[in-house]
Amino acid sequence: MRLLAHALLITLVATTALAAPDGEEQIGLIGEGRYEELASRYESLLQAPRARAADLHGLCYAYHKIKNYERLGQCLDRLEARIQKGDKDGRLFGADDLTPYAAILRSESANELGDYMLAISEAAKALDWYDREREGTLVEIDALAALALALSRVGDTAAAREYVKRLEKVSTGWLFSSDYKTAKSLALARCYLALGEYEKAYKALSADFLFETSALLDRLFSGAILTGENLWLWQDLPRQYMLGKALLESGRDAEAARRLGALAESPNIRQNGEIYWQLRYDLGRLSKRAGDLARAATHFQAAVEVIEQHRQHIDTEANKIGFSADRQVVYADLIDALYRLGRYPEMLEYVERAKARALVDLLARKWRAAPPEKLEKPAADQFNRISRLEQQSRIQMRARNAAATDSSGEAKQARQALYQADPMFASLIAIYGVEADAIRRGLRADETLLEYFAWGADLYALVVDRESVLAVKLDGSGLAGLVSNYRRALAARSPEVETMARRLYDRLLRPLASKLRPRLVLVPHGPLHYLAFSALHDGEGWLTRKHTLRVLPSANVDALLRASSSGGSGTALILANPDTGHAENDLKHAELEAQAIAGLLPNAHLLARRAASETALRAQAGKADVIHLASHGKFRTADPLQSYLLLAPDAANDGVLSVDEIYGLRLDADLVALSACDTGLGQGSPGDDLVGFVRGFFYSGARSLLASYWSVDDAATADLMRAFYANLKPLGKAEALRQAQLEVARTRPEPFYWAGFYLAGMGN
């Protein structure tokens, strides 16, 4: 029976492909779901120049299971390269040709990362292979399931159901043959759950009555039942989870709680990355339904920890966002539970973790890859110590060794030591959670931080000052439409602007008015990223008349920016009205504006027309304390990283400075002013700050940015910028902007002319 178990593992997974001498042990690792150990055994294959495709496939499968997406991508690249060279053989493990299995792994990981077009494309490749070769029933099952799942995610449920219909018809052998029956039932259940057909999912799994019988017989005849081994966990864990999930979604809470609770105690459940976070999240939902909010919060927190572990192993920003978007509901339910429990400081910390991680993770990746020269040995030693302890902790958590030591205390000491050695580096690598007390202490005595979190019709506002953290639940219904309509009214100089501004003030700020201090630090979320708060109206006047405003992508970024302050060089670099070779791009007022600004700033270097080139910016920006760019800007909604600023082209550079190129700049600037259109916009993503110019310049080393919400008026912008720089030294950046807005409003009272710019980052 042990041989039968091995044969079925090979037949049903076909991805084990492990050609090591101790193959029996390796199949056991897969059967028991010990994927971390499997990956560790095969780590060296990524460096081996002539690794066999069969072995690489086993390694890729392990990475897929533990959700190490960065390593999985590298592994699949190596595997596909071997396949293209003709190394396709996986016959010892049930696969004559590994080509479709590589495509399926790529499709399944793309589904999890939110790249649904890639998921569809790769699954279609595998299905085409099957239709052409007519062999490998598992390929047909997995490809159909991957296609149905991806199509359901993009909302094409009709096409998804067509593939499910074909999957329902896949032949799996005669009645008492278990070949492929379990694989098919699992695939169907996944599809039914994705389509919201919960009773069908439950029936599909329950109909596989031979699974538990076969597993039990194998354990009895092999003696594994005496040793505690279970070679069927690799299938049993997802099966049990989906049964519990179907019960939960069908409202059968008591049965769901029993099944999911038992599953949480199963051996190696933590190693199954695709299940464990969902299991803890669903247990939290059950606790919340039962009225036990404290227990629900504990489960939700555990789910968040798993999600964030997985996210550390994603190597691109787009994939981080896709991955996080699909899991935002976990953060939303946790935040709601903490709000209802009155645990506001914790709520603030998880709002930060929910909506700021892509920026902080990007900073972390940059500094891990290329630590700054100032990182001295004590800080480097502590960072390496933390990395070693975290790796050790992950292995121990998943290990079956009950004597594993708890290294969390030592890791905490190392984090504290790193922060003492180099707070800048410690903040940027974001290896510890955001503390509400640290956010509070970073505020000025006259500042209130307002951090919003939007989820569906729910809108939460966290009101933070040096003394306390409070939370208020606001009405978020229809908020995106209100903001969009207001922006259109502003652009049209509509007489309805003030009425709409009052409505938004009543919704967003009036319930908090008694807590607001003269200086406001705004951390928007969702549609609020696009709202000019300075142009809200309380019935007596515009908000900018009473409050000095600055904006942050996250409260934690404030600490990063303070830590990075270097004192400044005292020099200014001004690029104005670049000659792009197209007369329609000329900005006459921008050049006059720049000349006036150059006279207001000490040590200013003005470059105009042909001299205002991308090459000049790249050469000189790293030495400037203030960088002023008066040019055209274009935000691309569909591809925000390709949004750009236009500068003068030359032989070395094309003059189109895109956001992804801004990430590559090395700045040490106290202020970057983007006197251009739409520079403050970005592509919103669930649970994150915007992808656009502001993030790009923060990432490159700027501490404050002056950016625009809309296509600003050229002449009004020139007046505003002159007033801003005239007040910059005596008043600081945030107050200088407020005074400049008030000055422009005296002659151009419509908010369109004076409210288009906002300050992001440090306000002093």
User: Would 348 be classed as within a structural domain?
Assistant: no
Distances 639 to 111, 132, 487, 711 between C-alpha atoms, Å: 20, 36, 22, 19
Domain boundary among 559, 589, 618: 559
Judgement on whether residues 118 and 97 belong to the same structural domain of the protein: yes
User: Would 208 be classed as within a structural domain?
Assistant: yes
Judgement on whether residues 460 and 594 belong to the same structural domain of the protein: no
CATH code (residue 512): 3.30.420
Residues 499/505/508/512 CA torsion (nearest 10 deg):
-150
* Residue 226, pLDDT score: 33
Judgement on whether residues 532 and 661 belong to the same structural domain of the protein: no
Six-digit token pair at 462?
A: 């966290």
- The CA distance from 248 to 600, in Å, is 66
* Residue 753, pLDDT score: 94
- The CA distance from 189 to 173, in Å, is 19
Pairing mode, if any, of strands 458-464 and 469-475? antiparallel
User: Would 318 be classed as within a structural domain?
Assistant: yes
Six-digit token pair at 567?
A: 């004192």
Judgement on whether residues 103 and 144 belong to the same structural domain of the protein: yes
* H or E element that contains 598: helix 588-600
Judgement on whether residues 235 and 270 belong to the same structural domain of the protein: yes
Say what percent of the chain tops pLDDT 90: 45
Judgement on whether residues 641 and 710 belong to the same structural domain of the protein: yes
pLDDT tens sequence across 655-671: 988 877 887 788 889 99
Judgement on whether residues 49 and 167 belong to the same structural domain of the protein: yes
Judgement on whether residues 398 and 257 belong to the same structural domain of the protein: no
CATH code (residue 215): 1.25.40.10
Domain boundary among 386, 403, 433: 433
Average pLDDT along the chain = 79
* Residue 212, pLDDT score: 52
| Mean pLDDT on 587-599 | 84
Judgement on whether residues 482 and 587 belong to the same structural domain of the protein: no
Residue 445 exposed, middle or buried by CB count within 10 Å (0-12, 13-18, 19+): exposed
* Residue 483, pLDDT score: 93
Six-digit token pair at 549?
A: 């405003």
* 77-81, 177-181, 342-346, 699-703: least confident range: 177-181
- The CA distance from 544 to 165, in Å, is 59
pLDDT tens sequence across 130-172: 999 988 888 999 999 999 999 998 899 999 999 999 999 998 8
| Mean pLDDT on 88-102 | 76
pLDDT tier at 47 (50, 70, 90 boundaries)? low
Judgement on whether residues 182 and 85 belong to the same structural domain of the protein: yes
pLDDT at 284 over 90: yes
pLDDT at 388 over 80: no
Judgement on whether residues 555 and 602 belong to the same structural domain of the protein: no
pLDDT tens sequence across 325-370: 567 899 999 999 999 999 999 999 999 888 644 444 444 444 444 4
* Residue 286, pLDDT score: 97
User: Would 361 be classed as within a structural domain?
Assistant: yes
| Mean pLDDT on 439-451 | 94
pLDDT tier at 285 (50, 70, 90 boundaries)? very high
Whether 119 contacts 108, CB under 8 Å? yes
User: Would 677 be classed as within a structural domain?
Assistant: yes
Whether 67 contacts 323, CB under 8 Å? no
531 by DSSP, 3-state: which?
coil
Whether 211 contacts 189, CB under 8 Å? no
The pTM for the full model equals 0.77
Ramachandran region, residue 177 (left: φ > 0; alpha: ψ -120 to 50; beta: rest)? beta
pLDDT tier at 380 (50, 70, 90 boundaries)? low
3-state SS record for 231-296:
CCHHHHHHHHHHHHHHHHHCCCHHHHHHHHHHHHCCCCHHHCHHHHHHHHHHHHHHHHHCCCHHHH
574 by DSSP, 3-state: which?
strand
Range of the domain at 35: 2-338
Please count the structural domains in the chain. Answer: 4
User: Would 346 be classed as within a structural domain?
Assistant: no
Whether 180 contacts 144, CB under 8 Å? no
Q: Which residues are registered as beta bridge partners of 451?
A: 462, 523
Domain boundary among 368, 403, 433: 433
* Residue 641, pLDDT score: 64
Judgement on whether residues 99 and 24 belong to the same structural domain of the protein: yes
CATH code (residue 573): 3.40.50.1460
Whether 250 contacts 202, CB under 8 Å? yes
User: Would 71 be classed as within a structural domain?
Assistant: yes
**β-sheet with 626-630: strand ranges across:** 469-475, 458-464, 447-455, 519-523, 548-551, 757-761, 704-708, 671-675, 626-630, 572-578, 604-609
* Residue 695, pLDDT score: 74
* 146-150, 208-212, 231-235, 484-488: least confident range: 231-235
pLDDT tier at 520 (50, 70, 90 boundaries)? very high
pLDDT at 17 over 50: no
User: Would 375 be classed as within a structural domain?
Assistant: yes
pLDDT at 316 over 70: no
